[in-house]
Amino acid sequence: MPMTKALFIGSVVLLGTSSGCMATNAGVVALRPDGTPGPQDCPEESKKAMRYMKLRVGDAAWVELDANQIKSKPITLYDGPIESMLKNDLGILEATTRLYGQVWTGGPQVVIRYYEAHPPESEKVPICAVARLSENQLRKRPESLPGTAILDFSISGVNIVDSFR
């Protein structure tokens, strides 16, 4: 990792840790009647860190949804925490950066919200991002059991957001 990039990410880490705990905010999400998560604000620490990293709403990259099921077809996701991995750079977050978030499988499509990024050779930084694919490609297969989602693909787009809707 180039020295300036490492220093930049290190500065973001200091910014995030000085603003308070960078723990995920997933535990306070209200659920809709179909089991999907309701609206949620992006924490101010995450917005500040994303501005510092020059990540803007709509910035996108490809992500392996589950770091334990890379290139698998199909994959099974479970309600709860998830560790994903960037396949290509997202701003200064380089490929292989780990994204940590939460999965909800209650509705017809999987919902994944990311709250932290862990770049290689650096500390975790707070972010707000979602897994997103058009054409219903995050739709669960019919044989998915409650609390799980079987998906046809292991990859998705990941998009930076300023709030979760």
- As a whole number, mean pLDDT of residues 9-37 equals 62
What is the structure's pLDDT at 74? 95
With left for phi above 0 and alpha for psi between -120 and 50, is residue 108 left, alpha or beta?
alpha
SS3 content of the chain, % helix, strand, coil (to 5): 15, 35, 45
Domain 3-164: give its CATH code: 2.40.128
pTM of the model: 0.84
Domain range summary for the chain, segments of one domain joined by +? 3-164
For residue 17, pLDDT beyond 50: no
Residue type at 81 in one-letter notation: P
For residue 103, pLDDT beyond 50: yes
